[in-house]
Structure 1
Amino acid sequence: MPETYRLQLGPLVRRLPIMKLPNDVTIASFVLLGDAELTHYAAERLIERVKNVTFDYFVTVESKGIPLAQEMTWLSGRKQYFVLRKAVKDYMVSPLSVPVEAITTSADQRLVLDGTDAARLKGKKVIIVDDVISSGGSLQAAERLLQQAGAKVINRLAVLAEGSAKNRQDISYLGTLPLF
C-alpha cells in the first residue's frame, strides 16, 4: 500500500497518495474529479468568500477545476462558466493561447481560449477557480490569457494551496498541502 497524506477539509477526510513527479517534486496527489461530496462542500465554502462580490463569470483551467467551476456556477445562480483548455480544438474560432508551466506537467503546454468565448469575456469581471494552486504557473498563464481576452480577474479561489502558495496574499483557499 502506498504512503498517504491525510487531508481534512471541515468534516471530510481524504487519504491522498504521495507521488514523486518526474521533476523530483513529491506531492500528495489531490484529484477532485469524481469526488462529488468534496466538490460540493468546497464549492459551498468558496461561494461564501465571494457572496458580496460583483462579478460576471467563474473561469477554470482544464481539467480538475471543471467540477468545482460547475458547482460554484450552479450554487451562485449563474448559468455559464468558462474553461481554459490545454489544446486547440477543431471547433474553436480564432483561439487565443499562452504558454504555461505547471508543477504537475513536465511537457510543454499551452492554455487556450476559444475566440468566441474570448468575445463573451471582454470587459467582464471574472473569478478564477481551481483545485490546487502550487507554483502559480497555471494561474499566471490563465491571468495572461484572460487579460488578452479583455477580461478583468478580480479574485482567485482554490480548494487547496500547495507548498509556498499558502503564503500568497492574492488567493483564497480552504486548506493546504505540503510539498515533500
Structure 2
Amino acid sequence: MSSFNVKVGSISRDLPAVQVGNVNRVPLVEFIGDSEFTNETAQAMLPLIPEGTEILLTVVTNALPLTHEISDRSGIPYVCARKKRRTYLTDPMIQEVPSMTLGVSETLWLDGLHAQRLKGRKVTIVQDVVASGGTGKALARFVERAGGTVIGYLAAFKQGDSDLPVTFLQELPRSI
C-alpha cells in the first residue's frame, strides 16, 4: 500500500493512501486515536488562528479532536456541527453539503443552543482537511444564519483546489 509522509513539528506520520471513487488514491489524515499527532498539529495551528476569533466552529468526526485541542490551548471556545440528527438536539439548524470529498452528499445538524453561541460572534471555521470547500461553505452558512460572522477558515491540510480563503499548515497531493 502506498503512503504519503507528513511532518508537523517533531511528529512524522505516513498517511495511508485510500481510494476515492474510481479516480485516485489520496492520503488519509486521521486525528482520531492519534493524540500525539493531534496535539502537535493543534500546537502548530495556534499562530494561524485569525486575530479577533471569538469562537471556533467545526464538524464531527475527524476535525473534532483537533479543534478541541486548539480550543484547550488557545482558550477560544468551540461549537461542533453533527452529521446525524440526534434526539436531544434542540431546535436544530439543518444544512446540506452538496459534495463531500469522498463523493457523498451529507446533511449537517447544528443544535439550536449551539447556534445561539455563534450570534454576534467572530467565528473561525476549523477543519482537518479542506479539499473542495463544500463543508467549509456549509459551516459558514450556519454562522451566517445564526447571526455570526466568519472571519477565517483554518485547516491542518489543504488538498486540491478550493476557492475558500483557507489558512493551512501543509498541502497534500490530490493523488498518490
Tell whether the structures are fold-level matches, with TM greater than 0.5.
yes
Amino acid at match of 1:175: Q
Structure 1 residue 112, shift from structure 2 partner:
1.1
What is the one-letter code of the residue matched to 2:165?
A: D
Equivalent in 69, 78, 85 of residue 67 of structure 2: 69
Partner in structure 2 of residue 6 of structure 1: 5
Is 1:144 aligned to 2:141, yes or no?
yes
Residue 95 in structure 1 maps to residue 89 in structure 2: no
Cα drift, residue 23 of structure 1 = 5.1
SS at match of 2:18: strand
Q: Which amino acid aligns with 1:170?
A: P
* Paired position in structure 1 for 2:55: 57
Matched-pair contact (CA < 8 Å) for 1:133–1:158: yes
Cα distance in 2 for residues equivalent to 1:23 and 1:86:
24
Quick one: structure 1 residues 25 and 146, their matched pair in 2 at CA, closer, same or farther if it must change by over 3 Å?
farther
In the superposition, the TM-score normalised over structure 1's length comes to 0.89
Q: Could you tell me which residue of structure 2 aligns to residue 86 of structure 1?
A: 83
The answer to whether structure 1 residue 131 and structure 2 residue 128 are counterparts is: yes
How much has 1:105 moved relative to structure 2? Answer: 4.6
TM-score by length of 2: 0.91
Gaps of 5+ in 1: none
> In 2 relative to 1, CA 103–23 (structure 1 residues): closer, same or farther, beyond 3 Å?
farther
Asked if structure 2 preserves the Cα contact closer than 8 Å seen for 1:65 and 1:129, the reply is: yes
CA contact (8 A) 1:111 1:145 kept: no
| Kept in 2: contact 1:62–1:83 (CA 8 A) | yes
- Specify the alignment match of 2:33 in structure 1: 34
Divergent runs of 4+, >4 A: none
**Correspondence for 1:22:** 21
Q: Post-superposition shift, 1:55?
A: 2.1
3-state SS in 1 of match to 2:138 = helix
For these two proteins, the number of residue pairs brought into alignment is: 174
CA distance 1:139–1:4, change in 2 (3 Å): same
SS state of the match for residue 89, structure 1?
A: coil
Alignment partners' CA distance in 2, 1:135 and 1:26: 16
1:169 Cα offset (Å)? 6.8
